[in-house]
A and B are shown apart, each in its own frame.
Chain A
Amino acid sequence: MTVEMNGKNDSLLMDVDGLDFVDEGQSIKDQLDDHEDNYIGRDSVSDCIVVSLSKGNEPWSYNKGGELHFKLSPLVQQNIAFLCEKDKYKIYPVALPGIDASEEYVNYVTQLFEIYSSLGEDRVNSVPTIGVVNINEAREHTMAANLAFEALVIELESFIDAIKNKKNAFGRFFEVEECLTIINCLKTIYFTADTPDEQTSRNTFIKTLLGWINRSDGEPNEEYIEQVFSSSSNKNVFETSFFWKLINQLLLRGLFEQAMACIERSELANYLSSKCQVSSNALHDIVALLKQYPLDSSKTFREWKSLVLELSQTYNDSETEISGEIRDYLQDTLLLIGGHQDKILFYSKTWYESFCGLLLFYIPSLELSEEYLQLSLKHNPLDVTNNWESACAEVIRGHLYSILPTLESLDSCTAAFTAALCEAKGLLENYNEDEDHEQSRIYREEEDLFSYRNGMAAYMLNNFAFEICSLGNATLWPVAIGLITLSPICNSSAKKLAIAELLPHYPFQSTDDIEWMLSVCAKWRLTQVAKSIYVTLGNKLLYESNTIEAMANYSKAGKFEWVKRYSWMMFEASVLQGGPLDDIILNAIVNNYDDPVIPKNVLDTLVTSAMKQSLSPYAVLYQFYVAQQNEKWSDALELLLLLLEFQYMPKCYVVLLVSKILLPIFLEDSEKVMKEDIILRIMECITNKWDNDDEKTQNIYLSLREMGLSVSENLDGLHKHVRKLLDFKLCQEYM
């Protein structure tokens, strides 16, 4: 709203008061929503906004329908619609309308959470009713809450700055601007004047007040100012009523610099100095007074005001040499800045202008704010098409509860944290303490995370926490869990269970993510959830062929059967392969940790006791391969026998070991000597464990045949062949 020193032009006078910049029946938001990609209107049934499934690609023509299906996704931006109709086989991904998942928003949410969590104990408003009342504590609490609110406003402004030039974000931009207007009003009325610092509180209050009023609508805008200056072709601009309306409007809004610049531009001072010294002095004094408008204390304001009133009285009593109109206008301005209610109301175009004027010039006390509101609304009613005007009026009336749904409709993040800070300051009235409320009859409702008894702030914080879980942004999950943790309800059981149900849905990717999840489980003692996380992680690792890491997680989850299963699978694979598996970690584990690449301490953290036990057969097998490679046959045979005799060796693997190792390497090689006791032990093992009827053994055998091993046609034949060869070996030993 800077005033440029342009010359007058000859354009016709425009009736700026008659201008209607907004089409009837449409708010600015509605107009600008037309620019958003998919917005197509309002639903005739519910009056909700309607967006297109896919603008330009809708499957049906107007007023047609059919079998439409829709599934909500865990990710709010990737829901799917599809039709069960002939020749309509497309899939329609669609984001939920009104959901902001932008990077800027994520950053905003995170910042607000930091502000809220930093409040610490000041998140709760506790008024001591007994004992020594610590005044300092109350002051510090107020200061903390006010600072937090200030920080919230700053973050909101930053967010708005970040999105204002974004393509297709007009609607969103205006929503958060409206939010800011309401928040600024809230800040002015409740979070500024009581900051316990006498010296700066008035200054801050006035600045906040002017910030709220002037940012709300941006009036008077530059175009209007130019029109005023260019409208007066025949006479001096200061001879028009528009000029004085403009000046007084600027004064009511506390835009003193702009008002003085307009006065200077109009050359009124030069005119008056040549026409009327009295008036010239009066104008000069007005400007001087405006420059000295007191921001430091109420006392200096009273002194200032008495000077204004004195000046006004003096000018009123003086004779002047200028026309009645200019004199009247000057007088009006003097009266206005002297706090004359009628003049303030007369020159106000909106209720909030007069509200501001009364606070600036009449009596700057918030205790009179409701009275000022009433007066102002009587003169300039609310514009009900503006969300923020009704909300701000409610703020001034002290009905903070009622503005929260409005805020939520504009931005749920701002609404939730605003509610939380209002709650922290004890500003939210109780919703309903009526014991006959229907809900009180419902069993255990009072312990519900969303119970009305927890208050609006808790409801909104928890609701918002749930909302951000679906944004598909892992950064926001800790915020969500943090919000639930910090929400001002007493029932930690409800919080715990909510976190237990939510946490498994966290889309973990990295080790840090896992660690975070497990830290939450530890904090809330969610042992079952921790187990399911380990299992899910184990499955993910298995899917990525990281078997050992998978087993480690199964072990931590207590799924020892799975640990055994995969251990045996690796054992089986190794035997079928005829050598150690190509798994560095596995071989490092079984090789007595003697691996140059993987440090022992890393393996120690990875390998659990259960794994050590279940991998022991593979470890022995691995040692067998080492002995085999070194041609230490007696050692190798001894190791093989350990495996065959192993108490928990499945029967099917006895056949596998015999077929793949014993038979080809030892029995069928006449050079290999086998001692008597070894042969006898093998015979005993085969007698006890060989089972032709065992299903798994039969399956193994079939696999061996499919691999092309030259074995007998059936298990029984194999068994006999092995016995025969063992007998030969025994004879060989005797011979």
Chain B
Amino acid sequence: MRPFDSGHEDLVHDVSYDFYGRHVATCSSDQHIKVFSLDKDTNDWQLSDSWRAHNSSIVSLDWASPEYGRIIASGSYDKTVKLWEEDPDQEECSGRRWNKLCTLNDSKGALYDVKFAPAHLGLRLACIGNDGTFRTYDALEPSDLRSWTLTSEIKVLSVSPASHLQSDFCLSWCPSRFSPEKIAVCALDQALIYQRGKDNKLHVTAKLEGHGGLIRSVSWAPSIGKWYQLIATGCKDGKVRIFKLTERPVAHSASSFVGSYDDDASMDKVDSLDLHVELISEHDDHKSEVWSVSWNLTGTILSSAGDDGKVRLWRSSYSSEFKCMSVISAQQQQQQQPTFQERSQDP
């Protein structure tokens, strides 16, 4: 497969797949969003549309679940989150195919990450910016996508980071439909797990400890077939970490939920759950800053990309150890050293 020109004219900050992986959206400091679709016959990515979306660098994108239609959220340094809906009646590459639904401008600082919640939680969005505040918005009436309500506003950092210092913020929702609502929120070198309580508010229920630098990326694995959760982080300290979260009902709850999971079960029935966090894997293979981590569809393969110019792919063995299974290098091969004979021919 050959690389293709994104068409952006400045730094590319994020790439996001839609639910089926057949469309991808990219965003950039050139203030544009571009959407590409995968051609079924050639398997090449073709530009579907491009438009100027914000007044500053766009650093984060996410697609809503197809249960809610064709919607993209974008987060920008212009302190806004914007929501876009595709109009299939408009021509491709017209710049008019995606219409703005609304602008969310509660943030007091540049936005760093924006993520839709899993579909079973409704049409919900979380964002975090360098005002150190993480917010969630809900489209309370999914038939009216222009109307979003700020439903949570939580100060993660007591003090906003100094502007001259590097900072980073990211978040990742727990995708499991059979686990209570949770989100991992990372601010600088802190990683917190928020869970929806009985008061319908998000509370910190666990921390992912041990980061020795800015957390550049966090990704919550799909926990298909597992009763525990896995969260991966990529950190400036050069390490890829994998945390295991196990949920246990609190002792006083009426009955355990062993075997009580069914498709129609609401997690609201569970009184409360304790989260046990365990660091199960820590790898410094990159020997340099880790910029992104990402899980595959089934939560069985983890990728990490580092400043060493390599992407590492990790897989769990039967004994539950994560091992590097292969490496993808973005570097050219080392040139062969000349042989003695060749060298001796040099003038």
State the A residues within 8 Å of B (CB): 40-41, 43, 45-46, 48-54, 57-86, 89-98, 405, 431, 439, 442-445, 447-450, 452, 456, 459, 462-463, 466-467, 469-470, 472, 484, 493-494, 496-498, 500-502, 505, 507, 524-529, 532, 535-536, 539-540, 542-545, 561-562, 565
Binds A, one of B157-165, B198-206, B308-316: B308-316
- Closest approach, in angstroms, between the C-beta of B109 and any C-beta of chain A? 20
A81 touches B311 (CB 8 A): yes
A64 touches B329 (CB 8 A): no
State the B residues within 8 Å of A (CB): 1-17, 19-22, 24, 26, 28, 36, 38, 43, 45, 65-70, 86, 88-89, 119-120, 142-143, 176-178, 222-228, 246-248, 258-259, 261-264, 285, 287-288, 291-292, 294-298, 300-301, 303-313, 317-320, 323-335
Given contacts A49-B327, A526-B263, is CB(A90)–CB(B5) below 8 Å? yes
- Closest approach, in angstroms, between the C-beta of B320 and any C-beta of chain A? 7
A500 to B225, CA, bound (A): 10
17 more CB-based (< 8 A) A-B contacts, given A89-B11, A91-B36, A95-B1: A69-B291, A70-B304, A80-B15, A82-B15, A444-B258, A452-B320, A470-B297, A484-B225, A496-B262, A498-B224, A500-B177, A501-B176, A525-B262, A528-B263, A529-B263, A539-B66, A562-B142
Q: Which residues of A contact B292 (CB under 8 A)?
A: 68-71
A542 to B143, CA, bound (A): 13
- Closest approach, in angstroms, between the C-beta of B19 and any C-beta of chain A? 7
- Residue in A51, A52, A452, A562 whose CB lies within 8 Å of B318: A452
Q: Which residues of B contact A59 (CB under 8 A)?
A: 330
Q: Which residues of B contact A469 (CB under 8 A)?
A: 297-298
Q: Which residues of B contact A448 (CB under 8 A)?
A: 225-228
A11 to B40, CA, bound (A): 58
B333 touches A40 (CB 8 A): yes
B318 touches A456 (CB 8 A): yes
A543 touches B70 (CB 8 A): yes
A45 touches B285 (CB 8 A): yes
Given contacts A83-B12, A462-B225, is CB(A527)–CB(B264) below 8 Å? yes
Given contacts A444-B258, A527-B263, A536-B67, is CB(A53)–CB(B5) below 8 Å? no
A72 to B43, CA, bound (A): 16
Q: List 20 A-B contacts (CB under 8 A).
A: A40-B333, A48-B326, A51-B329, A52-B329, A53-B329, A60-B330, A60-B331, A67-B291, A68-B305, A70-B304, A74-B17, A84-B12, A93-B2, A442-B246, A470-B297, A528-B177, A532-B120, A536-B67, A539-B66, A539-B68
A48 to B327, CA, bound (A): 7
Q: Is the interface of A mostly helix, strand, loop or mixed?
A: mixed
- Closest approach, in angstroms, between the C-beta of A703 and any C-beta of chain B? 16
Given contacts A72-B294, A96-B313, A466-B300, is CB(A498)–CB(B332) below 8 Å? no
Residue of A nearest to B89 (CB): A545
Q: Which residues of A contact B330 (CB under 8 A)?
A: 53, 58-60, 65, 68, 81, 83, 92
Q: Which residues of A contact B328 (CB under 8 A)?
A: 50-53, 70, 81, 94, 97
B88 touches A544 (CB 8 A): yes
A493 touches B45 (CB 8 A): no
- Closest approach, in angstroms, between the C-beta of B1 and any C-beta of chain A? 5
A67 to B292, CA, bound (A): 9
- Residue in A48, A444, A507, A562 whose CB lies within 8 Å of B227: A444
Q: Which residues of A contact B323 (CB under 8 A)?
A: 46
Given contacts A50-B327, A89-B8, A93-B3, is CB(A60)–CB(B332) below 8 Å? yes
Q: Which residues of B contact A96 (CB under 8 A)?
A: 301, 313, 326
- Closest approach, in angstroms, between the C-beta of A486 and any C-beta of chain B? 14
- Residue in A85, A93, A95, A526 whose CB lies within 8 Å of B11: A85
B20 touches A507 (CB 8 A): yes
- Closest approach, in angstroms, between the C-beta of A66 and any C-beta of chain B? 6
A68 touches B332 (CB 8 A): no
In the A-B complex, list the 8 residue pairs whose CB atoms are closest, starting with the nearest. Answer: A449-B225, A65-B309, A74-B21, A466-B298, A498-B225, A70-B305, A46-B324, A75-B21
Given contacts A89-B9, A96-B301, A528-B263, is CB(A443)–CB(B246) below 8 Å? yes
A502 to B304, CA, bound (A): 24
B15 touches A466 (CB 8 A): no
- Closest approach, in angstroms, between the C-beta of B179 and any C-beta of chain A? 10
